[in-house]
Amino acid sequence: MTHAEVKNVNVWYDTIHALKDVSLKFEPNTVTALIGPSGCGKSTFLRLFNRMNDLIPSFRMDGTVMVNNQDVYSKEIRIDEIRKNVGMVFQKPNPFPKSIFENVAYGLRVNGINNKAVVEETVERSLRQSALWDEVKDVLKKSALELSGGQQQRLCIARALAVEPKLILMDEPASSLDPISTARIEELIFELKKTYTIILVTHNLQQAGRISDLTAFFYLGELIEYNLTKKLFLNPDNVQTQNYITGRFG
Amino acid sequence: MDTKQLKQKIVFTIFGMMSFVVVAILVIILGFIVFRGIGAISWEFLTTAPKDGMTKGGIFPAIVGTGCLVIGSMIFAFPVGILSGIYIHEYLPENWWKKFLRMMTNNLAGVPSIVFGLFGMALFVNYLKFGDSILAGSLTLGILALPVVIRLTEEALKAVPDGLRLGSYALGASKIQTIQKVVLPVAFPNILTGLILSIGRVSGETAPILFTVAAYFLPRLPESISDQVMALPYHLYVLATSGTNMEETRPMAYGTALVLVSIVLIINLSASLLRRKIQKKNKMN
């Protein structure tokens, strides 16, 4: 059973209190959208799960983050183990300047899996899952940089899937893509939630409404409302949420 | 035309003229050296040792000597410079130690080359008893090249987009795996260019080899790294200032200058060609 949970988390960057006592539980096989104006802490929140915030020297936190019943910030746990179990897709497609095949195989190779048959099978499965296989199966040796932006982003999704994560984090995965590529990514997210739990940061409220089951609204580092997406967009409990989704600020 | 536009036109005309001056200076220098030196160039000049008080013969031992020094200095400077460049840029957090290392590197780059020569003589020639030798000269030149290599390595690493590093970490790669498999392959063409450019720099230096290796006249070729050698820049200095027959050595001096400049130009040109080729190849695979 996939499980992600955040309990009483506070985050600081130097003296800036970026997340204030946030607690949230994520259901398996759902898509949860994190929305809120820039600087509200939603990206910081997303990066708690694979400890990407650790790369920022001024980052400090307390509270608990659990993924799969494992304390992500426990001292005994190895950071690369965590990152292997949590896939991440970034705002801008960031394929490595390697072949399409090697991009997907990368996560396996750095985790010590080099068996040729296993690698080939995983690459194919991941590319199929990310709906890219039919477009690239004959050109797997070609540089990933020659793909279109939308294809590159689906390649990055395949790359994340290859290490079989439990949880997938997406940081505005479609914000740099054209509408057609965006639609494909959204369809893909819809497919992927059958297998994975997805947490998605988006600035695009329509997108959150279209693809997420649950939505969390952040404002000034606080979690204002966490609700079913339908409920949150049609009839939010909180007046601040109401103001944000109707465009009164943000 | 109103005054605003006129002003702009005048300003940019002045800027343009200044850039023309830069080009003109280079063209004049090269033209002058080619004009005065081309007469001395012959197969014999390139392949034989000087003779008759350096008024005849060629500069072959100096070409070989410069080659030895360049190779020797790079064997020292490349690993030390590249590895510390990677350490400073990829590994160190932004703290006082990193700032200190950067400051030291920059200061090392600012030391006049004659001071390196003096230091090389004191440390390598006298204290470590290498004597006047290829070894002492190469190490001295290597120290001179070091800050250039470090800085160019850092620049090359800085040009690698951070998104690639994050992408690699997110897949569970360690820092060293990320550097090895993602950062260095991307930075490699630029690092290589930097290295080749530093070769160009080193091959033209005179002061560091003055007291550490360079021979006034040594027609035979070196047999080991403890031998002295002639070198092109020093040979040029000798021909221009302290020959026995200045009138007759003058053409030889210009010939030597032409060879030296050509070598540096060829090295720099090959750097940009090589980079373009690798970048193309990176895109293909």
φ, ψ for residue A214, nearest 5 deg:
-125, 155
| pLDDT band of A169, cuts 50, 70, 90 | very high
- For residue range A139-162, what is the model confidence (pLDDT) as tens digits? 999 999 999 999 999 999 999 999
Residue whose structure tokens are 């820092």: B175
What Rg, from alpha-carbon coordinates, does chain A have? 18
Pairing verdict, β A86-89 and A167-171 = parallel
Give the residue from chain B lying closest to A83, CA to CA: B172
Are A80 and B174 a contacting pair at CB < 8 A? yes
Residue A102: name the closest of B276, B282, B280, B187 by CA: B282
Alpha-carbon span A149 to B147, nearest angstrom: 39
What is the H or E stretch that residue A245 is in?
helix A239-245
DSSP-derived secondary structure letter, B61: H
Whether the pLDDT of residue A16 is over 80: the answer is yes
The mean predicted confidence, pLDDT, of chain A is 91
| A80 close to A163: Cβ distance less than 8 angstroms | no
- Tell me what pLDDT residue B12 has: 94
Cβ within 8 Å of B, A 138-177: 141, 143, 145-146, 156, 159-160, 163
Alpha-carbon span A46 to A11, nearest angstrom: 12
Of B172, B186, B284, the CB nearest to A110: B172
Could you give the domains of chain A?
A: 4-93+169-245 (3.40.50.300)
- Does A97 contact B at CB distance below 8 Å? yes
Are B285 and A146 a contacting pair at CB < 8 A? no
Domain regions of chain B by residue span? 43-284
- Tell me what pLDDT residue B285 has: 47
Alpha-carbon span B125 to A81, nearest angstrom: 53
- Tell me what pLDDT residue B283 has: 60
User: What is the percentage of chain A residues whose pLDDT exceeds 70?
Assistant: 99
- Tell me what pLDDT residue B243 has: 67
Whether the pLDDT of residue B18 is over 80: the answer is yes
* Tokens encoding A143: 């540089």
What is the H or E stretch that residue B57 is in?
strand B56-57
| B282 close to A97: Cβ distance less than 8 angstroms | yes
The predicted model scores a pTM of 0.83
Q: What is the CATH number of domain B43-284?
A: 1.10.3720.10
Of B93, B166, B186, the CB nearest to A97: B186
Of B166, B173, B283, the CB nearest to A52: B166
A57 interaction partners in chain B (CB closer than 8 Å):
93-94
- Tell me what pLDDT residue A189 has: 92
Pairing verdict, β A31-35 and A197-201 = parallel
Alpha-carbon span B93 to B105, nearest angstrom: 17
